[in-house]
Amino acid sequence: MTLRYERLAEALLDDIGKGIYRPGDRLPGVRRLAAGHGVSVSTAVAACRRLEDDGVIEARPRSGYFVRAGVGRWLELPPVSRPEIRPAEVTGQDLVLRLVQATNDPSILQLGAAVPDPAFLPTRAIERALARAGRQHRSRAATYEFPPGAPELRRQIARRLAERGCHDSPDEIVITNGAQEAIALALQAVARPGDVVAVDSPTFYGLLQVIESLELRALEIPTDPEAGIELSALQLAIDRWPVTACVTVPSYSNPLGSCMPDERRRALVELLGRHRIALIEDDVYGELGFSGPLPRTLRAWQGRGEVIHCGSFSKTLSPGLRIGWIAAGERLFERVEYLKYVENLAAPTLPQLAVADYLAHGGYDRYLASARREYARAVARMREAVGRLFPPGTRVSRPKGGFVLWVELPEHVDTLRLANRALAAGISIAPGPAFSSTGKYRNCLRLSCATPWSPRVERGLHRLATLLDDDGRGGLASNR
């Protein structure tokens, strides 16, 4: 659970980001803050000290706390996306390989791929869980754990999903090599080459790679940066095109960070249910909300339509474990189980046993509470720095969970060129065209905030800002 002083600090930071308090403004006194937010004076003091440690505000003797000069200006949200709504073959995904390969180079500042730095992960606890699993299951760990996967892990996943409204039996869950394989299996189970798949726009480039590899066609749907896929636009697309499936990230989406409200989730399931269109839910960020109760899964409304739920522990425990899952329901279970076996026989046995052990005994919920606070703080700091350093006209998403920011730059900027120049300067970013099947969002980029804040990160953002300033002199102008 997020501590009260941290929630207050986040609320004040949001007010500063919105321009309610501008550089040089005095914040209300700690007693007024305490009364206004229903907390103790000591909690208000702790919140202000947190913001002071982060360099956002400063204390002046006998005067109170003031917003520091140079703190980022108020940033508008990106508008609802407006892609051309037509099926398209996925192109231009070769640049993604260069992006992800940069994560293995320690000389590169990693702001591109959405891979959490080990500092954000429970690495020691996972090491202990792996060691325990190796000792307790020596013979079993050396063999295949054929689909559907380790029963103790499936039970733990089923318990966690039940807390968010998804009441699948452990016997209906298949363990996969991460969420990307889960989504690939889901699409193989419901679609055939040439079929049309509706997706958020912008959408995660990994999904586009899966669509490309399966010879499907992507249909980008306008998406709100706060509430997710636009249902009216999806209805129009369904009326015009033979949509077979829809893949969406309803909880803290990548790259926008949007979180779909319950009423839209229910309406989405009902809409696709009426048209007998499979709905595939990518829930990889679902447990990384910054505050409040975690959102219910789309599968919580399963009775109103067919929902296939996909998730993984890559963003919470360790991407290297490659443990994900798919809950496809009774009708599709055997098909998914068979496809998983044909694809690669089984998910690795030892990581399955270790994750099951950690979920049962390792304090996963305590870790998640800490991780949510750290990601909230990391996103807030990155957003503030973008507002302070990047050019006027920049718009930035305001995620309520996860750890990525979507940045829309002035129209003339070409982020493909920016990405190449940044990489030459030792900085990795994710250019906007990677998140579109047709290379849209040329003036946008995604930043990963899951890296510990340091002078190196600050220098890297200053360098990016310098490259963008060069753009004003024609250095990064688009040829569109």
Residue whose C-alpha is closest to residue 419's, from 77, 102, 75, 90: 102
pLDDT digits (tens, 9 = 90+) for 450-464: 999 999 999 999 999
**Number of CB atoms found within 10 A of residue 342's CB:** 11
Pairing mode, strands 173-176 and 324-327: antiparallel
Element spanning 267, H or E? helix 262-274
For residue range 121-164, what is the model confidence (pLDDT) as tens digits?
999 999 999 999 999 999 999 999 999 999 999 999 999 999 99
CATH architecture of the domain formed by 94-119+367-471:
Alpha-Beta Complex (3.90)
List C-alpha distances in Å: 358 to 163, 261, 267: 18, 31, 36
Task: Determine the pLDDT at residue 475.
Answer: 46
**How many Å apart are CA 349 and CA 133, to the nearest integer?**
10
- Do residues 354 and 323 touch, judged by C-beta distance below 8 A? no
3 state DSSP class of 285: coil
Element (H, E) at 419: helix 415-424
Check: CB of residue 160 under 8 Å from CB of residue 325. Answer: no
Compute the half-sphere exposure of residue 186: CA atoms within 13 Å on the CB side of its CA: 37
- Which residue type, as a one-letter code, is found at position 281? E
Residue 384: per-residue pLDDT: 84
- CA 69 vs. chain centroid, Å, equals 31
Q: What is the pTM of this model?
A: 0.86
CB 281 within 8 A of CB 250: yes
Cα–Cα distance measured from residue 320 to residue 402, given in angstroms and rounded to the nearest whole number:
18
pLDDT value of residue 9: 87
- Domain spanning 121-361: CATH 3.30.450.260: no
Parallel, antiparallel, or unpaired: how do β-strands 64-67 and 57-60 relate?
antiparallel
**pLDDT value for 226:** 93
* CA–CA distance, 99 with 389 (Å, rounded to integer): 23
pLDDT of residue 457: 95
Tokens of 126: 């996972």
Residue 450: CA atoms inside 13 Å, Cβ hemisphere, count?
Answer: 26
CATH of domain 4-67: 1.10.10.10
Give bridge partners of residue 110 from the DSSP assignment: 428
10-residue averages of pLDDT along the chain (480 residues): 77 78 88 93 93 83 83 75 85 65 83 94 96 95 96 97 94 97 98 98 95 96 96 97 98 96 96 96 96 91 87 96 95 96 96 96 91 89 89 92 96 93 94 93 96 93 91 48
Find, among 53, 31, 54, 51, the residue nearest to 42 by Cα: 31
Q: Which residues of 25-50 are buried (b: 16+ CB within 10 A; e: fewer)?
A: eebbebeebbeebebeeebbbbbbeb
- Domain residue limits, the chain: 4-67, 94-119+367-471, 121-361
| Buried/exposed 137-176: b ≥16 CB within 10 Å, e otherwise | beeebeeebebbbbebbbbbbbebbeebbbebebebbbbb
How far apart are the C-alpha atoms of 432 and 406, rounded to whole Å?
9
How many angstroms separate the Cα of 258 from the Cα of each of 57, 400, 401?
28, 7, 8
Which of 221, 290, 295, 253 shows the shortest CA–CA distance to 406?
253
